Chain A
Amino acid sequence: METTRRRRRKSGLQRRKARAGRLFSYFWLLGFLLFVANPLFQSLMYSFSKVEISRGSVRLNIIGLENFVKAFTADAEFIPMLIDSLTVIVVDVLLVTFFSLFVAVMLNKKFKGRALLRAIFFLPVIITSGALVYVMQSDVSAQFAGASGQQGMPMLQTVDFKSMLLTLTNNNPAVSVLTDAIDRVYQIIWKSGVQILLFIAGLQAISPALYESAEVEGSTGWESFWKITLPMISPIIVINLVYTIIDSFTDYNNELLRYIQEMAFGTTLDYGYSAALAWIFFAIICVILALSVGILSRKVFYMND
């Protein structure tokens, strides 16, 4: 009698908590149905059709899987671009995560000039977002394209350094390997802005009491990092991983995304084919995300579970 009542009371509390959780997330779901579901469905329909756009109205001619077949069989550019994007991402995710965690741990220490240094590390968040990237890229690349032969944001690359080295060594191919590696470093630093910010926030949410008690027990800073910082920050590692993957896929510099956009708004105006490419792309990102989060979340430490 006693046990059944206790169980019922417990399940009552659980049910109440479930109800609160449903309230929060169903609110989101309502918004999703109102604003996103319909455009998303439309875009999916586009991918199965030939789209004709005329002043404010859109007409669809359903053609089945033709767009998808075209992407994998007839389009010579799509598959190489896709493979290119995928390899870049694997390298980026690893390097960005390590680099940003390192910088965040450093910036979380108390030292003179910390405020200034944090402000400097906030700059990439401002400069690499939206309009600024677009504007700076459009002219500087036109100016420098001839000199460096490279696309992208030359301000962030080793332009003058590279041309100098090449003239000094008489176009030695080994030099370009070296400078490419350096370019990679530049890009990693520029791509880590948001991740550093998130890591700093995560580090600050760790209770100082944990470190104090560890110190009393005689643990070194190195041990504290592995036993306290890393487990406590692991939820933020997951979100940074997800962000980095998504960021490099939706980045302005991503040539595949630009290709997709070009298909829709450029000279071809093939909105249906563009939508089909986008959906193939999504499907692949989803699989990658699910795999990496699935592997990582076994190692993640949440204080309550």
Chain B
Amino acid sequence: MTAKLTNSRTYKKLFYRLFFIMLFCGIGYILIYPLIYIFTTAVKSPADMLDTTTVWIAKKPTYTNFLDAWGYIEYIKSLINTVMIAVSVTVLNLAVCSTIGYGFARFKFRERGLIFALVVFTIIVPPQVIGLPQYIYFLQFDIFGIFKNTLGGTINFNNTLAPFILPAVFGQGLKSGLFIYIFRQFYRGMPVELEEAGYIDGCGTFKTYLRIMVPSATPAFTTVGLLSFVWHWNEVFNQAQYMTNNPTLSMRLVGIVGYITKSSQVTDLSYVVPTKYAGVALVILPLIIVYLIGQKFFVEGIERSGIVG
């Protein structure tokens, strides 16, 4: 009798495991499909594109697509610009948004709700809507007429990193409002006893924050860092607006079809499409490599912080 019972239990367990393996294989396939599509299309030659019997694996694979895409994108120059934007803004976001989020999470003051409502409001506003006025603002940058009076003119920030970095310093960058919100939710969920221990040991507000709260919020930091990095890597609207003569990866990727058809006079889709996907592969490859290298570190960092509470 008992033997039968344990038997049915192991069957049940086996069934559940099988079910989850199948489910995650299915979902995994859906998610990985575009990636396979990108990389297999990128190596196809025009002959493969026209050959209806070639579905995934190219019969006459070619690497020249990558060389062409590399040239069109001006890869090294664009990569440097993109890395500079993504890294600097991400570091600023982590430092500034976490501190501001902590302020909203832990300290009570009368106008807190109102200011926080403004923060949420800035998330809703798509960059396209305030794009034009903000562009003009950075073209003739001035703070309350100070520069005009002292330097005798306004500053033109076109083609510099200032339109990305300056707002981020004050927690006003792309989706910074969302990051502030994420940090606030994490800090609010943490036990208040953690900080009280810090206060009792004689730490000030900032020291308690840096020494106790920041290490406990590692999961929030890795998540926000990841999101901020990827979103700035792929962001195109602001970059196209401010970096007109200074290419970035996402800008060149968006315009790649135009570049190919204009510069080589080729409009043949069997050449344009694989070259475009070679460009896509070149742009996302660094992201994937960074993620795979960083993964171990992220997971470890997250698990070490499990001491909360």
Contact = CB atoms under 8 A, between A and B. Distances in A.
Interface residues of A, number: 94
B5 interface: no
A43 to B, nearest CB: 5
A50 interface: no
Contact of A304 (B103, B124, B188, B217): B188
B171 interface: yes
Interface stretch (A79-87, A172-180, A231-239): A231-239
A21 B182 contact: no
A286 interface: yes
Chain B: interface secondary structure? helix
B62 interface: no
B151 interface: no
Given A21-B106, A34-B170, A197-B226, A130 B124 contact: no
B130 A39 contact: yes
A269 B216 CA distance: 50
Nearest to B288: A126
Contacts of A125: 226-227, 230
B4 interface: no
B226 A156 contact: no
Contact of A289 (B120, B167, B169, B170): B120
Interface in B268-309: 273, 276, 279-280, 283-284, 287-288, 291-292, 295-296, 299, 302-303, 305-309
Contacts of B250: 130-131
Interface string B240-280: 00000000011101101100000000000000010010011
B121 interface: yes
A65 B110 CA distance: 35
Contact of B303 (A30, A43, A204): A204
Given A155-B34, A204-B219, A32 B227 contact: no
A209 B253 CA distance: 48
A26 B103 CA distance: 10
Nearest to B122: A36
B133 A126 contact: no
Interface in B92-148: 99-100, 102-104, 106-109, 111-112, 115-116, 118-126, 128-130, 132-134, 136-137, 139, 143
Contact of B108 (A18, A58, A123): A18
Contacts of A239: 181-182, 185
A36 B166 CA distance: 12
A207 B109 CA distance: 29
Interface string A183-195: 0001001100010
Interface residues of B, number: 102
Interface string B167-185: 1011110000010111001
A21 B107 contact: yes
Contact of B170 (A27, A119, A198): A27
Contact of B136 (A56, A118, A143): A56
B230 to A, nearest CB: 6
Contact of A24 (B99, B296, B308): B99
A292 interface: no
Contact of A122 (B109, B291, B302, B306): B291
Given A39-B130, A202-B186, 7 more contacts: A24-B99, A35-B166, A118-B295, A135-B253, A197-B227, A207-B306, A250-B124
Interface of A: 14, 16-18, 20-25, 27-32, 34-36, 38-40, 42-43, 46, 53, 56, 58, 103, 106, 115, 117-127, 129-132, 134-136, 138-139, 143, 155-156, 186, 189-190, 194, 197-198, 200-202, 204-210, 232, 235-236, 238-239, 242-243, 246, 249-250, 257, 260-261, 264, 271, 275, 278, 282, 285-286, 289, 302-304
Interface of B: 20, 24, 27-28, 30-35, 37, 99-100, 102-104, 106-109, 111-112, 115-116, 118-126, 128-130, 132-134, 136-137, 139, 143, 166-167, 169-172, 178, 180-182, 185-186, 188-192, 205, 216-217, 219-220, 222-223, 226-227, 230-231, 233-236, 249-251, 253-254, 256-257, 273, 276, 279-280, 283-284, 287-288, 291-292, 295-296, 299, 302-303, 305-309
